[in-house]
């Protein structure tokens, strides 16, 4: 590949790996014989669910914070996010001892707001529109001089996420294909650049939710050969609702070998398998890779032919169970009412 062709490079990813090594977790790779049988191949799961803040996002955020020069870092960092990137950037900034301004929509669940605050981030609320988020970020940048760290369409973020591939291929040397959940493309861009540099013959496949509104922008862009305007995907995999950016798209266009689009029920089925069989907590976005491997689309994808050893990235485990009444379901219910005398048998026995 030509130097400077993309927003980041394998050399940048190697530098990122060294830079963030003191701060990130080297996440484990796990296997499950039951799931192997269902898939008809060997699967190796890279468990970013065990990364700090519970998702892969900490890698890119950490690299983005620690790559800054001292004078630049003093001004702090800013981003807009209602998800894993917000918490990741807050923690990374806390570790460096600099301010983190996090713009979040006022509709953001309280548990996510509390996570950002718990990691030392300063929360700034805005209206729940992209225009309001971007305007709030611009105002904070102008007022504080903070450095904008986008969630995916940003070279240092892409390089940080690419460290997943370096670790994965050190832990499992002979993988045929890597399956990576995709939305904005920051993670798969970094992984594709690193994986192809380390093992040129390896395949990289994107796993993407089609959504209720059938808006899989990565699959559509790959088919067309250019970015197409697409609506935000309506999916339970809320961490995969971003759109490809101008920096991530060229890498996806050139280095991603195929896209497998999955349905909502397939995502839920994959979550259940991972939780029941592997005993791992995974959010819907994190289960999309397994959903792809188990879907009919896997066999239809030319890039997956003859791929017997499959690496799957479980990208996050931040599952909020409270709104679904999960915990309340474990509590004992009220005692059954005692029958009235008229409802008893002649000898005072229940009928």
Nearest residue to 202 (alpha-carbon basis) of 179, 225, 219, 235:
179
76 close to 144: Cβ distance less than 8 angstroms: yes
- Produce one character per residue of 216-255: b if its CB has 16 or more CB atoms within 10 Å, e if not: bbbbbbbeeeebeebeebebbbbbbbbbbbebbbbbbeeb
Phi-psi region of 211 (alpha: psi -120 to 50; beta: other; left: phi over 0): left
38 close to 60: Cβ distance less than 8 angstroms: no
Q: Please provide the DSSP assignment of 293-340 as one string.
A: HHSHHHHH-GGGTT--EEEEEE-B-----GGGTTTGGGS--PPPPPPP
Q: Is 46 known to be catalytic?
A: no
Distance between CA atoms of 181 and 84, rounded to whole angstroms? 14
Nearest residue to 222 (alpha-carbon basis) of 200, 248, 198:
248
Distance between CA atoms of 182 and 200, rounded to whole angstroms? 21
Query: Among residues 81, 82, 285, 295, which one is catalytic?
Result: 82
Distance between CA atoms of 306 and 326, rounded to whole angstroms? 41
3-state secondary structure of 80: strand
Q: Where are the alpha helices (DSSP H) in 172-216?
A: 186-198
Q: Is 215 known to be catalytic?
A: no
Distance between CA atoms of 243 and 229, rounded to whole angstroms? 9
φ/ψ of residue 118, rounded to 5: -60, -30
What order do you get walking across the sheet with 42-47 strand by strand? 29-30, 42-47, 309-314, 177-181, 203-209, 258-262
Q: Where are the extended beta strands (E) located within the chain?
A: 29-30, 42-47, 77-80, 100-105, 122-126, 147-148, 177-181, 203-209, 258-262, 309-314
Query: Among residues 46, 52, 57, 203, which one is catalytic?
Result: 57
48 close to 26: Cβ distance less than 8 angstroms: no
- Cite the active site residues: 57, 82
């Amino acid at each position: 590949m030509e130097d400077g062709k993309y927003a980041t490079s394998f050399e940048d990813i190697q530098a990122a790996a060294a830079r963030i090594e003191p701060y990130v977790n080297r996440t484990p790779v796990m296997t499950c014989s039951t799931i192997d049988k269902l898939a008809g191949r060997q699967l190796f799961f890279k468990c970013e669910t065990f990364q700090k803040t519970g998702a892969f996002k900490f890698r890119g955020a950490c690299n983005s914070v620690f790559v800054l020069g001292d004078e630049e870092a003093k001004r702090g960092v800013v981003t807009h996010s209602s998800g894993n990137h917000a918490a990741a950037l807050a923690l990374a900034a806390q570790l460096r001892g600099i301010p983190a301004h996090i713009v979040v929509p006022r509709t953001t669940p309280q548990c996510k707001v509390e996570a950002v605050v718990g990691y030392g981030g300063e929360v700034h609320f805005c209206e729940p529109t992209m225009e309001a988020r971007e305007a709030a970020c611009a105002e904070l940048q102008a007022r504080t001089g903070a450095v904008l760290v986008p969630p995916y369409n940003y070279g240092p973020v892409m390089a940080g996420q690419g460290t997943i591939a370096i670790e994965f291929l050190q832990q499992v040397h002979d993988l045929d294909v890597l399956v990576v959940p995709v939305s904005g493309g920051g993670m798969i861009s970094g992984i594709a650049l690193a994986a192809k540099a380390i093992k040129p013959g390896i395949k990289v496949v994107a796993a993407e939710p089609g959504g209720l509104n059938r808006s899989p922008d990565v699959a559509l862009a790959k088919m067309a050969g250019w970015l197409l305007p697409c609506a935000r995907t309506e999916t339970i995999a809320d961490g995969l609702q971003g759109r490809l950016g101008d920096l991530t798209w060229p890498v996806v266009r050139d280095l991603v070998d195929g896209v497998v689009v999955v349905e909502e029920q397939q995502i839920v089925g994959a979550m259940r398998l991972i939780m029941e069989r592997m005993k791992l907590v995974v959010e819907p976005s994190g289960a999309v890779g397994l959903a792809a491997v188990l879907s009919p689309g896997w066999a239809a994808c030319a890039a997956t032919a003859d791929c017997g050893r499959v690496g799957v990235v479980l990208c996050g485990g931040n599952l909020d169970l409270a709104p679904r009444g999960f915990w309340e379901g474990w509590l004992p219910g009220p005692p059954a009412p005692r029958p009235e005398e008229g409802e008893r048998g002649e000898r005072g026995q229940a009928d």
